[in-house]
C-alpha cells in the first residue's frame, strides 16, 4: 500500500481490511508514515511524531491477530491530551519535555480498541488562541483554524483517518469547516476528560475529526464501549431541519453567508423539510455568557502557570486570564444560570426537529498563520453542551472549504451523525 492509496481510506475501511486479512496494521502504519513524510514539511501538523512507536504497536496488533473496534487505524492525538510514552507540551514552552505518568482515558481506550497512535498533533497554547506552525492543507497560506489545528490538518491531508481534538469555544467545528473534514463535538459527559489539560471545565469537550460520518460513529462507539453498526442515514425527504442563523449572523462574511444559503437550497431540493428556528431575543446574551464562563474558569485552571511562568504566556492569554481574575463570582453564576435557561429554550425550539442547521464558521479560512479565525458560531452551542457536527462539502469564493453545522438533541449523537451522513452527499456534489 502506498501513501496515496492510504490517504483516501476511511477508518472503517482500514478496520474492515484488517478484519478480512487484506491489510496488515504494519502496512497501514507504514503508508501513513509515507503520507506524513510527503506532506508534513509544508503542513506542520505534528508536534511529536512517533514512527518507531507506531510501527511497534502495529506489529504487536498483527501478532495478536485481534483487530478490535479501531484495529490498525492510525490516530492523531491533540497535544493537550496526556500520553505516557510521548511528550505532552500543551502548546506552551512551559511544558517543554513534559511526560505525563499515564495516558488520558481517551488514549487508553483508543489503544485498547486497537488504534495505532502516530503521535501528538499541534495545538494552540493551552487550546486557546495563540497558534502553532500548522498550515491549512487546502492552501498552506491560510490558517487551519484552532485550537485543534494539527488534528484537523492531519485528517484533511490524509495523514490519519481519525484524530482527537477538544472544544471549549469552537476548536473542533471551526477547524473542521476550514479544512473540509467532519468533526463531532459530543454533548457533555459522553467522553471522559480525564487526562486532558483543563481550561474551562464547564465548557471543555473531547471530540474527534474524520473524513466520514461513519468514522465519527466508529470512534463514538470506541469511547462508549459500544458495538459499532454503520449509520443508517434517513432519506433526505424524512429530514426535519430547523434553520437557525443565530444572533451572531452578522459575523458571517459574504462567502460564508452565501454558502449557508446554498446549503439550505440543496437540503430543500433533496427533499428535507426546513423550518424557521429563530433564537428568541432572550438568548442574545448567551455568547457573552460563554465568554464569561471561559475566562472565569480559565483564570483558576491556569493559576499555577500565571503565578510561576507569566513571562511564558502569550499576550492574548494574559488578557483572558486577567479578565477572568477580575470577573465577579456573581457574574459567573449569572452566566451559568443563563446557560441553564438557554438549554430549556433551545430544547423547546428543537421540538419536532431532527437537528438545527446553523453556520459552522464565518466563512473560508482566513489568510495567514498568525491567528486561527473566529469561533463565534460555536460558542453558544458549546455553552449549552449540545452535540454538534461539522458537515463538509461546500466551497467559498476562493475555493476553500466551508462547512455547515448540525446541532442535535442531548445524548442523541448517533442520530445526529445519521443526519449528517444523509445531508453530506448533497453538499459534496453541489455544482
Catalytic residue among 92, 148, 171, 378: 171
Burial class (CB in 10 A: 0-12, 13-18, 19+), 221: middle
Residue pair 197/79 in contact (Cβ under 8 Å)? The answer is no
The one catalytic residue among 92, 120, 147, 177: 147
Which residues, 6 or more positions from 326, have their beta carbon under 8 angstroms from its beta carbon?
none
Residue 137, φ and ψ in degrees, nearest 5? -60, -25
C-alpha closest to that of 365 among 181, 194, 205, 193: 181
* Catalytically annotated residue among 78, 120, 197, 291: 78
Q: Do residues 176 and 183 touch, judged by C-beta distance below 8 A?
A: yes
78 classed as catalytic: yes
Enter the C-alpha cell of residue 281: 431575543
Q: Is 147 a catalytic residue?
A: yes
| Cell numbers found for residue 195 | 487526562
Instruction: Find residue 142's DSSP bridge partners.
Output: 367
| Cα 390–Cα 348–Cα 175 angle in degrees, nearest 5 | 15
Cα gap 350→336, rounded to integer Å: 21
214 in Cβ contact with 328 (< 8 Å): no
Distance, in Å, from the CA atom of 147 to the CA atom of 128, rounded to the nearest integer, reads 6
Under a CB-based contact definition with an 8 Å cutoff, are residues 341 and 334 in contact?
no
The catalytic site residues sit at 78, 147, 171
Amino acid at each position: 500500500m502506498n501513501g496515496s492509496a492510504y490517504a483516501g481510506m476511511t477508518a472503517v475501511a482500514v478496520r474492515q481490511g484488517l478484519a478480512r486479512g487484506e491489510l496488515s496494521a504494519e502496512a497501514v502504519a507504514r503508508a501513513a508514515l509515507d503520507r506524513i513524510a510527503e506532506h508534513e514539511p509544508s503542513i506542520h501538523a505534528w508536534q511529536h511524531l512517533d514512527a518507531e512507536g507506531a510501527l511497534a504497536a502495529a506489529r504487536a496488533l498483527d501478532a495478536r491477530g485481534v483487530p478490535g473496534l479501531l484495529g490498525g487505524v492510525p490516530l492523531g492525538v491533540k497535544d493537550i491530551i496526556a500520553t505516557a510514552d510521548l511528550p505532552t507540551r500543551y502548546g506552551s514552552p512551559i511544558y517543554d519535555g513534559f511526560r505525563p505518568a499515564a495516558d488520558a482515558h481517551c488514549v487508553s481506550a483508543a489503544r485498547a480498541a486497537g488504534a495505532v497512535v502516530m503521535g501528538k498533533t499541534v495545538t494552540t497554547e493551552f487550546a486557546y488562541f495563540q497558534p502553532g506552525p500548522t498550515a491549512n492543507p487546502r492552501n498552506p497560506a491560510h490558517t487551519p483554524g484552532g485550537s485543534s489545528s494539527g488534528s484537523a490538518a492531519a485528517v484533511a491531508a490524509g495523514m490519519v483517518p481519525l484524530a482527537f481534538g477538544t472544544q471549549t469555544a469552537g476548536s473542533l467545528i471551526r477547524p473542521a469547516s476550514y479544512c473540509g473534514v467532519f468533526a463531532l463535538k459530543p454533548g457533555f459527559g459522553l467522553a471522559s476528560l480525564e487526562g486532558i489539560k483543563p481550561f474551562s471545565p464547564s465548557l471543555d469537550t473531547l471530540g474527534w475529526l474524520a473524513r466520514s460520518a461513519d468514522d465519527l460513529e466508529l470512534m463514538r462507539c470506541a469511547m462508549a464501549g459500544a458495538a459499532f453498526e454503520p449509520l443508517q442515514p434517513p432519506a433526505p425527504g424524512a429530514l426535519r431541519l430547523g434553520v437557525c442563523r443565530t444572533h451572531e449572523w452578522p459575523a458571517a462574511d459574504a462567502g460564508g453567508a452565501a454558502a449557508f444559503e446554498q446549503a439550505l437550497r440543496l437540503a430543500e431540493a433533496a427533499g428535507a423539510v426546513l423550518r424557521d428556528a429563530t433564537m428568541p431575543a432572550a438568548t442574545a446574551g448567551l455568547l457573552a455568557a460563554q465568554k464569561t464562563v471561559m475566562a472565569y474558569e480559565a483564570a483558576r485552571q491556569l493559576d499555577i502557570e500565571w503565578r510561576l511562568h507569566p513571562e511564558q504566556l502569550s499576550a492574548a492569554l494574559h488578557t483572558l486570564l486577567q479578565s477572568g481574575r477580575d470577573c465577579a463570582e456573581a457574574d459567573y453564576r449569572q452566566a451559568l444560570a443563563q446557560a441553564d435557561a438557554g438549554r430549556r429554550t433551545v430544547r423547546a425550539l428543537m421540538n419536532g426537529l431532527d437537528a438545527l442547521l446553523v453556520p459552522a464558521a464565518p466563512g473560508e479560512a482566513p489568510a495567514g498563520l498568525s491567528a486561527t479565525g473566529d469561533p463565534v458560531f460555536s460558542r453558544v452551542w458549546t455553552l449549552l453542551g449540545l452535540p454538534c457536527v461539522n458537515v463538509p462539502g461546500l466551497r467559498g469564493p476562493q475555493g476553500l472549504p466551508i462547512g455547515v453545522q448540525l446541532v442535535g438533541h442531548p445524548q442523541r449523537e448517533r442520530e445526529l451523525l445519521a443526519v449528517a451522513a444523509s445531508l453530506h452527499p448533497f453538499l459534496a456534489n453541489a455544482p
